[in-house]
Amino acid sequence: MKKLGALIAAAALLVAGCGSSSGGSGNTTLTVFAAASLTESFTALKTAFESAHPGTEVKFNFAGSSSLVQQMSNGARADVFASADQANMDKAVQAGVIDGSPALFATNKLTIAVAPGNPKRITSFADLAEGGLTVVVCAPQVPCGSATQKVEQKTGVTLKPASEEQDVKQVLNKVQTGDADAGLVYVTDAAGAAGKVAQVDFPEAAQAINNYPIAVVKNAPQSDLARQWVQFVLGAQGRAELQKAGFGAP
């Protein structure tokens, strides 16, 4: 009996040892680097994806696309990259951090975010160049900043912004807090902040449409899950969530 007891104890220790090697809760983490303008849509998709993949936790790094490319180029580990424009995805491809061919999944365009009620009576893109207004935009290397420059070139209107922010959410925040009278953001961001800001659409925005590509990152720690996330975003549920937020189809 003593011998049997010793064998049982040894087996229990072996099982415990095997269980502890899996570590913590045993969850698998999928890391998604995504443009700041995707915050609401991707966060909404997270719950459905995790439910369909038990034991998976989706973690996001939302920032300006140019900043995300820089982070990955400097060795930051990610599984998926979703950019707010083709130019920054091209930079990621050229830097050798993308696996395979990126796929387009959405489009977006600019609008003018102003305080509720539009107290400054801004009605056009040209109004932003008038004196007496505090206007904020995205920095030129950021997709929303690049789109702003395209509109300036198309219209011949030159803006003199009070600041150039590193992502579109920072622009939106300055309008929400009253630090700016107007800011150039995406229609999706203005829609997501309805009630906190009003939006002034302008026709010239159609001349600077941003295409959003998504791709698996090279040497992704969770490459299989990464491909599943990409397909999820490209699929019917992903498309429906993006359209609800105001994104256009590619």
- Does residue 11 sit within a domain? no
- Count of structural domains within the chain: 2
State the Cα–Cα distance between residues 182 and 180, nearest whole angstrom: 5
According to DSSP, the β-strands at 198-200 and 110-114 are antiparallel
Is residue 201 in a domain? Answer: yes
What's the pLDDT tens digit per position in 176-191? 999 999 999 999 999 9
Task: Indicate whether 148 and 189 sit together in one domain.
Answer: yes
Q: Residue 64: inside a domain, yes or no?
A: yes
Residue 244 has, within 13 A of its CA and on its CB side, a CA count of: 11
21 belongs to a structural domain: no
pLDDT at 91: 97
Q: Quick one: which of 49, 46, 84 has its CA closest to 68?
A: 84
Strand (E) or helix (H) holding 71: helix 65-73
Same domain membership, residue 103 and residue 91: yes
User: Are 201 and 127 found together in one domain?
Assistant: yes
CA distances for 118 relative to 44, 178, 197, angstroms: 30, 12, 9
92 and 133 share one domain: no
| Closest to 142 measured CA to CA, from 98, 172, 102 | 172
- The answer to whether position 57 is within a domain reads yes
pLDDT digits (tens, 9 = 90+) for 108-152: 999 999 999 999 999 999 999 998 999 999 999 999 999 999 999
Asked whether residue 158 falls in the same domain as residue 239, the answer is: no
Q: In whole angstroms, what is the distance from residue 187 CA to residue 71 CA?
A: 27
Query: Any idea what the CATH number is for the domain that residue 102 is in?
Result: 3.40.190.10
26: left (phi over 0), alpha (psi -120 to 50) or beta: left
- Residues 32 and 93 reside in one and the same domain: yes
Domain-located, residue 74: yes
pLDDT under 70: residue ranges of the chain: 1-26
Q: Say whether both 51 and 165 belong to one domain.
A: no
Do 238 and 200 share a structural domain?
no
Return the pLDDT at 26: 64
Are residue 128 and residue 189 in the same domain, yes or no? yes
Residue 5 belongs to a domain: no
DSSP structure string for 105-149: EEEE-EEEEE-TT-TT---STGGGGSTT--EEEE-TTSHHHHHHH
Beta bridge partners of 135: 182
Has residue 13 been placed in a domain? no
Helix (H) or strand (E) holding 93: helix 86-94
Which domain range does residue 196 map to? 110-207
Q: Please indicate, yes or no, whether residues 197 and 232 belong to a single structural domain of this protein.
A: no
